[in-house]
A and B are shown apart, each in its own frame.
Chain A
Amino acid sequence: MPSYIGTATSRVDGRAKVTGTAKYAGEFGASDLVYGAVVESTIPKGRIVRIDVSDALRVDGVIDVLTHENRPHMAEAPGAWKDEVAPDVGSPFRPLYDDIVMFNNQPIALVVADEWETARFAASLVRVDYERAAHATDLYAVRDTVRDLQKPFKSSKPRGNASAAYAAAAVRHEAEYYIPIEHHNPMELYASTAVWNGDGKLTVYDKTQGVQNVQRYLCSALGLSSDDVRVMSEFMGGGFGSGLRPQYQVVLATMGALKLQRSVRLVLTRQQMYELCFRPATIERLALGATTDGSLESLTHEAIAVTSHYEEFARDDTTWADGLYTCANTNYSHKVARVDLCTPSDMRAPGATTGVYALESAMDELAVALKLDPIALRLRCYSEREQGEDLPFTSKALRECYREGADAFGWDKRSPEPRSMRDGSELVGWGMATGVWEALQVPITARITLTANGHAEVACATSDIGTGTYTVMAQVTADALGLPIESITVKLGDSTLPQSPVEGGSWIATSIAAAIGTTADAVRAELLRRAQQMPKSQLAGMSPDNVTLTNGKIVSKQNPSHSALIADVMRHGKMDRIVQETTAKPNDIGKYARNTHSAIFAEVKIDEQLGIIRVTRVVSAIAAGRILNTKTGHSQIMGSVVWGIGMALHEETLIDHRFGRIMNANVAEYHMPVNADVHDIKVIFVDERDDIINPLGMKGLGEIGIVGVAAAIANAVYHATGKRVRDLPITLDKLQR
């Protein structure tokens, strides 16, 4: 049978998505359904002195208004609110816990009514008096309050003496770069429908990247027993990290359902989603010293990122060079500054997206100072081993990324001088950068149910947030059981299924593939055992490794004429199904660095008079081991490149710091790339054989595609114009300055 792994298999959930039958969290009904609307604070910091809900309650159709004064019981201890990916340091936000306001647009009341419009109208009638406290939301304004991480990262020990080596270096570059707050803005609004099943039991349809994480969180925070709550998320309209932690709407909807003993749906507005979480604003300082031939002598990378006052969120921005470049003297430091906003969160390749943007911009500036081709500089410093712990990589085909990417882009036709390339009235710029991310695996469990009619169900409580999990699970199961993909049903997004961590970090596809592999092995072993109990079995004496499953048969590998029909084996054993469940843990492969790598090449065309920037071409060459599905994998990388275009040119959350309030909390004024902003994107998967990382030689694809893209575009803008803009996004006003 042909293998599905490695092919361009179309999404198995495609039909549900193009016909509108795929149901998302805010689309589940119930006969007793009522609707919630959130009231938010209008101050950034202080406390609620009085909250008057009397007018809201007078509105015809309003059922109740929940505030901190009348809400049901919730856990007091901050530890009870820690979900599986909560920061180690700090106390998570507890919606409607008390009268304290910690950020603007904080939820302070939930209005419940028989219709959504009624709830929203009544929410506008809730009157609140506050006692205000002084606040700060601007990273630059609180920069002098910066502090070391209370829980430092493991890596980041200094090597050699970076400052002395910098002072002695023949060629030096030092600069500060800035990345503003960015928001995930998944297309689906954050929503939860808490369906009251009677006798205290709830089914909660939630927009989340981890149903079991939400289930445990709700039980812990609201004092429910594990049997009382089932959390479902079969489809999720985009996450990008925003759905890793449970969001406040699931607490409010569940609390409403518990209090009213009926089903409650709560869909947040787009505006409200801007106070769920975000990519932290970050200042990055790079200092690079090199010999005249381009060997790196000194590398200092310091980052200052915002976090909230109540939690210490931090992701490592500064040590990514260790996976890319040799350098004897390094100094890395990541610090945080607290602001009066909600806690930041993971957002596509957290740490790397921002840190590598700065690193790869600085490398480009160093190449200019050295009068060296940017690729030549990177090859001069190319590291064959991970530098921080001096480890070999399981695989690193980054040279191939540079070569194949440059060939596809036509890099050899680049004239190095800025402003030297034109197309009519437009300046043309070509820039490149490197990307790096981790190749992680997590413990995860898969259950396979093989039925006598030749159908198999594969189940796990993981999520498909658009990443293609349904499809890759079907592919791997079909291959492992020798069945056509049409005979596979995938179940996921249900907290009652076998265990899964949250879907994030590019770790699910490789992890679940391994679990399906070990579970299919168990199915095969059980089938063989049963087959060998049949009279005159042709498979007598064979071990599970000697047989394979194909076309509904269990077949000897050595002598394919020796086989047994799976249907016959089950009939003889008087079974209608075989059920197996196994957990796969990350391979114990010893001391290796596990990374994906990439090289990105970008072409920009810039109208010199108006400063309008178009990204006309991007080539992204990716080294990520064996690619499970070249079609959905291509889409992940292409979509990440679009995110990189947004980061480079469009995306910025603007806060009026006088009020600590976001000014562009909508998708018209928070600019994201639209169809006309995106032109030619070419994705190349370079051949990267990895016999160490896992049996299939695979690495994840969710994050690597964005890393380095903004730097490649920023470098292209410099090449086009001769102007270096170091604070993102690169808008036309900054080019005209």
Chain B
Amino acid sequence: MARTSTAARPSKQTIPTQDKISIALTVNNVERTLQVSPWTTLLDALRDHLELTGTKKGCDHGQCGACTVLVEGRRIISCLTLAVMKDGAKVTTIEGLAANGALHPLQQAFIDHDAFQCGYCTPGQICSAAGLLAEGKAKTVNEIRELMSGNICRCGAYPNIVAAIQQAMGQTGEKS
């Protein structure tokens, strides 16, 4: 068909994109060096450059929490973080939580309590929960709910997510 043709490339000068910058990240205890553009987010660096697709993109605007990872043990939104900002940092993703094939207590608790359905928000929920446990601020059910509210679960598994986190905290029963 006549309409099928590659769009004619203009002869004018090309518009350059951005020069690549070399950065080093320690991801899940493995040192990785990669060439990224300044505009590449940590999320896209993980997913597209390092093929660690366990970290999810749900909005790319810091609104849903699906991209939550741990940087130096703190939970952050990797879609609002440029990769170059974290040169030299220690990053833990969902792929790095299980040790020697044994699930992290949160991973096991999420399975036990059916704290997900489609599973897409789950890596972010679990990384966020790991950060929550490290912060040590949440003591009650209501505090867990509040401090996990940056992670949207459209399947609506919230009560099971809270129960899973309580199990991992070693708590039983409500303390609200």
Given A20-B94, A187-B152, does the pair A54, B5 have CB atoms closer than 8 Å? no
B15 interface neighbour in A60, A188, A466, A674, Cβ under 8 Å: A60
Total number of residue pairs linking A and B with CB closer than 8 Å: 227
Q: Once the chains bind, are B114 and A187 in contact (CB under 8 Å)?
A: no
Q: Is A238 close to B, CB under 8 A?
A: yes
Tell me the complex Cα distance, A187–B44, Å: 17
The answer to whether B156 and A643 touch across the interface, beta carbons within 8 angstroms, is: yes
With known contacts A20-B55, A675-B148, A678-B145, A69–B3 Cβ distance under 8 A: yes
Cβ-neighbour of B157 out of A14, A235, A638 (below 8 A):
A638
A562 lies within 8 A of chain B by Cβ: no
Judge whether A409 is part of the interface by a CB distance below 8 angstroms: no
Q: Check A632 against B114 for contact (C-beta < 8 Å).
A: yes
Q: Which residues of B contact A11 (CB under 8 A)?
A: 111, 114
A186 touches B120 (CB 8 A): yes
B134 — which chain A residues lie within 8 A by C-beta? none
Closest chain B CB from A184 CB (angstroms): 8
Q: Name which residue of chain A comes closest to B38, CB basis.
A: A117
Pick the contact of B59 from A59, A239, A466, A667 — CB < 8 Å?
A667
* Chain B CB within 8 A of A668 CB: yes
A238 to B111, CA, bound (A): 18
CA distance A26 to B120 in the complex (A): 12
Among A466, A467, A676, which residue has its beta carbon within 8 angstroms of that of B149? A676
A574 to chain B, nearest CB (A): 38
Q: How far is the CA of A696 from the CA of B32 in the complex (A)?
A: 53
Q: Is A115's CB within 8 Å of the partner chain B?
A: yes
- Select A27's contact among B5, B8, B47, beta carbons within 8 Å: B47
Instruction: Please determine whether A20 and B17 come into contact, CB atoms closer than 8 angstroms.
Output: no
Q: Which of A462-492 contact B (CB under 8 A)?
A: 465-468
Cross-chain contact A18 with B7 (CB below 8 angstroms)? no
Cα-based distance from A666 to B51 in the complex (angstroms): 26
* B145 close to A675 (CB less than 8 A): yes
B1 to A678, Cβ gap below 8 A? no
Cβ-based interface call for A634 (8 A): yes
Chain B residues 144-169 with CB under 8 Å of chain A are 144-146, 148-162
B15 x A58 contact (CB < 8 A): yes
B16 within 8 A of A: yes
Establish whether residues B160 and A189, one from each chain, have CB atoms under 8 Å apart when the complex forms. Answer: no
A455–B66 CA distance with the chains assembled, in angstroms: 36
CB of A461 within 8 Å of the partner chain:
no
A-chain residues with CB within 8 Å of residue B144 when the two chains form the complex: 675
CB atoms of A640 and B63 under 8 A apart? no
Contact yes or no, B4 A71, CB < 8 A: yes
Main secondary structure of the interface of A (DSSP, over half): loop
- Residues of chain B within 8 A (CB-CB) of A116 are 44, 48
Considering only CB atoms and an 8 Å cut-off, how many residues of chain B contact the other chain?
75
B95 within 8 Å of A (CB atoms): yes
* Residue pair B56, A188 in contact (C-beta under 8 Å): yes
Give min CB distance, B134 to chain A, whole Å. 18
- Asked if B154 contacts A19 (CB within 8 A), the reply is no
Q: Is the CB of A20 within 8 A of B53?
A: yes
Which residue of chain A lies nearest to B37 when distances are taken between CB atoms in the complex?
A117
A675 touches B118 (CB 8 A): no
Closest to B108 in A: A18
Choose among A26, A187, A632, A641 the residue that contacts B66 (Cβ–Cβ < 8 A): A187
B-side contacts of A643, CB under 8 Å = 156
Whether A724 sits at the interface, judged by CB under 8 Å, is no
Query: Are A678 and B156 also in contact (CB < 8 A) when A60-B17, A117-B39 are?
Result: yes
Q: Is A240 in contact with chain B by the CB < 8 A criterion?
A: yes
Flag whether A55 is at the interface (Cβ < 8 A).
yes
- Whole-angstrom CA separation of A121 from B39 in the bound complex: 10
Task: Flag whether B72 is at the interface (Cβ < 8 A).
Answer: no
Dominant secondary structure of chain B at its interface with chain A: loop
Smallest CB–CB gap between A637 and chain B, Å?
10
Residues of chain B contacted by A125 (CB below 8 angstroms): 15
Any chain B CB within 8 A of the CB of A635? yes
Instruction: Check B156 against A17 for contact (C-beta < 8 Å).
Output: no
**Roughly how many angstroms separate A29 CA and B52 CA in the complex, as a whole number?**
11
Residues on B with C-beta less than 8 A from A666 are 59, 61, 63
Chain B CB within 8 A of A46 CB: no
Within 8 A of B (CB), among A9-33: 10-11, 13-24, 26-27, 29
Among B56, B107, B118, max chain A CB count under 10 A is at: B118
Known contacts A20-B123, A57-B9, A188-B58: A675-B158 contact under CB 8 Å: yes
Question: Is the pair B111, A18 in contact by a Cβ cutoff of 8 Å?
Answer: yes
> Of all chain B residues, which has the CB nearest A269?
B60
Q: How far is the CA of A64 from the CA of B63 in the complex (A)?
A: 32
In Å, the complex CA distance between A372 and B40 comes to 63
> Are A18 and B122 interface neighbours, CB within 8 A?
yes
Pair A24/B120 contact, Cβ less than 8 Å: yes
Question: Which of B4, B47, B51, B112 is the most central at the interface, judged by chain A CB atoms within 10 Å of its CB?
Answer: B4
A259 and B154 in contact, given A17-B122, A187-B66 (Cβ under 8 angstroms) = no
Q: Mark B54-81, 1 if CB is under 8 A from A, else 0.
A: 1111111101101000000000000000
Q: Does B30 contact A (CB under 8 A)?
A: no
Q: Which of A665-694 contact B (CB under 8 A)?
A: 666-668, 672-681
Residue of B with least CB distance to A639:
B156
Q: Is the CB of A58 within 8 A of B10?
A: yes
What is the bound-complex CA distance between A110 and B34, given in angstroms? Answer: 28
* B10 A673 Cβ-Cβ under 8 A: no
Taking CB atoms and an 8 Å cut-off, the chain B residues in 102-134 that contact chain A are 103, 107-108, 110-112, 114, 116-123, 126
Which of B15, B117, B160 contacts A468 (CB under 8 A)?
Answer: B117
Interface centre among A18, A72, A116, A186 (most CB of B within 10 A): A18
CB <8 Å contact, A73 and B4: yes
A-B contact sample (8 more), CB < 8 A, given A17-B122, A187-B66: A22-B119, A116-B44, A187-B120, A187-B155, A270-B59, A466-B116, A638-B156, A678-B159
The 9 tightest CB contacts between A and B, nearest first, are A20-B54, A642-B156, A237-B120, A466-B118, A17-B119, A639-B156, A466-B117, A20-B94, A27-B53
B binding-site residues for A, Cβ under 8 Å: 1, 3-10, 12-17, 37, 39-40, 44, 47-48, 51-61, 63-64, 66, 93-95, 97-98, 103, 107-108, 110-112, 114, 116-123, 126, 142, 144-146, 148-162
Binding site for B on A (CB under 8 A): 10-11, 13-24, 26-27, 29, 53-55, 57-61, 64-67, 69-73, 115-118, 121, 125, 184-189, 235-240, 259, 267, 269-270, 465-468, 631-632, 634-636, 638-643, 666-668, 672-681
Instruction: Please name 12 pairs of A and B residues whose Cβ atoms are closer than 8 Å in the assembled complex, sorted by A.
Output: A15-B103, A57-B10, A61-B17, A73-B3, A187-B155, A269-B60, A465-B118, A635-B160, A639-B156, A666-B61, A674-B158, A678-B156
